[in-house]
Amino acid sequence: MRPAIRRRPFLPLFVTPAVLVAAAIVAAMAAILRYSLHAYVPGSLDVGGFTLENFADLTRPIVLRALRDTVLICFETALITLVVGYPVAYALVRTRSVLLKSVILVTAVTPLFLGEVVRTYAWTVVLGNTGFVNAMLRQVGLIERPIQFMFTELGVIVALVHVTLPVMVIMLAAALAHIDRDYERAAQSLGAGPVRAFLTVTLPLSMPGVVAGFTTAFAWTFSAFATPQVIGGGKVGVVSTLVYQLGLSSFNFPVAASLSLAGLVLALGTMWAVRRAARPFEAMGGH
């Protein structure tokens, strides 16, 4: 018998951290699943016997509204982020100006290092009734009374777009950078002006990036907590803030757990549906 050749001697070393992380996630999920299947005992963190009651609680109007609003807010945020992020990513990839490239990179990427909480508090300064936007509009004379951004869905979406934009720009830029410039040149040599060359060649070829960026932005927004909590101020109910209220204000861990699971299923289901709906567009990219 030939001696076994160990082709990848370091494989166990590389895989171990991933296994540990995966094990921790599975354990956490198992704990949540366990909570969701046991009865809530008011005034205690311990749970009672096995029950499906927690999931029945999810059909209450306030929960259903939160689930619906979450999907809508995530969808709108992802869409706006896509529309805002595409030109930025395109300029980032195509500009020959080093200065413009740097400016875009800095403005698009540095927010990532600040974290959601810091950025969200920055937005309260900007969007508040005496904040930057309202002060500007009043100065110019466009409005007499401040526009209410704080504690509204509009305010939450504006802030979420900003929080999500870096991820979208990075993903779109990666996709656009992969498109050989000769495709556009070929289109132009064949008589397509810049707009038509973009619409018939560049845009279809970037569709895989668009779909990936959209779904990532969607998931990113779905899991956002600080932004809807601070900007929404409890008036905009989404899954993450509702889970927080149920779990850490009411200490109703079982219902919070079941709502978490429902949110997870909803997020995965929506993303699956989005991907499926986008399949024809993705195929256009031909990658």
* Residue whose CB is less far from other proteins, 12 or 286: 286
Quick check: 286 binds other proteins (CB under 8 A)?
A: yes
Smallest gap from Cβ 106 to other proteins, in A, equals 24
C-alpha span between 272 and 16 (Å, rounded): 30
Determine, following the binding rule CB under 8 A, whether residue 183 of this chain makes contact with other proteins.
Answer: yes
How buried is residue 176: exposed, middle or buried, by Cβ count under 10 Å (0-12/13-18/19+)? buried
Separation between Cα atoms, residue 103 and residue 57, nearest integer Å: 49
Min CB(183)–other proteins separation in Å: 5
Q: Which stretch binds other proteins (CB under 8 A): 20-28, 80-88, 191-199, 216-224?
A: 191-199
Choosing from 34, 68, 185, 279, the residue that interacts with other proteins (CB under 8 A) is 185
Minimum CB separation of residue 89 from other proteins in Å reads: 19
Which amino acid is located at 81 in the chain?
T
Q: What is the DSSP string of 187-256?
A: HHHTT--HHHHIIIIIHHHTHHHHHHHHHHHHHHHHT--HHHHHHHTTSS--HHHHHHIIIIIS--HHHH
Could you tell me where the DSSP H helices lie in the chain?
11-36, 53-57, 61-94, 98-127, 132-140, 153-177, 181-189, 194-197, 203-205, 207-222, 226-232, 239-244, 253-285
Does the protein bind other proteins through residue 201 (CB under 8 A)?
Answer: yes
Q: Tell me which of 43, 49, 141, 191 binds other proteins, using CB under 8 A.
A: 191
157, 76 in Cβ contact below 8 A? yes
* Contacting residue, 51, 152, 188, 245, with other proteins by CB under 8 A: 188
- Residues β-bridged to residue 40: 47
Q: Which is nearer to other proteins, 179 or 239 (CB)?
A: 179
Please state the closest distance from residue 85 (CB atom) to other proteins, in A.
22
How many residues lie near other proteins (CB under 8 A)?
24
Using CB under 8 A as the binding rule, whether residue 287 contacts other proteins is answered as yes
Binding positions for other proteins, rule: CB under 8 A: 180, 182-183, 185-194, 196-197, 200-201, 204-205, 283-287
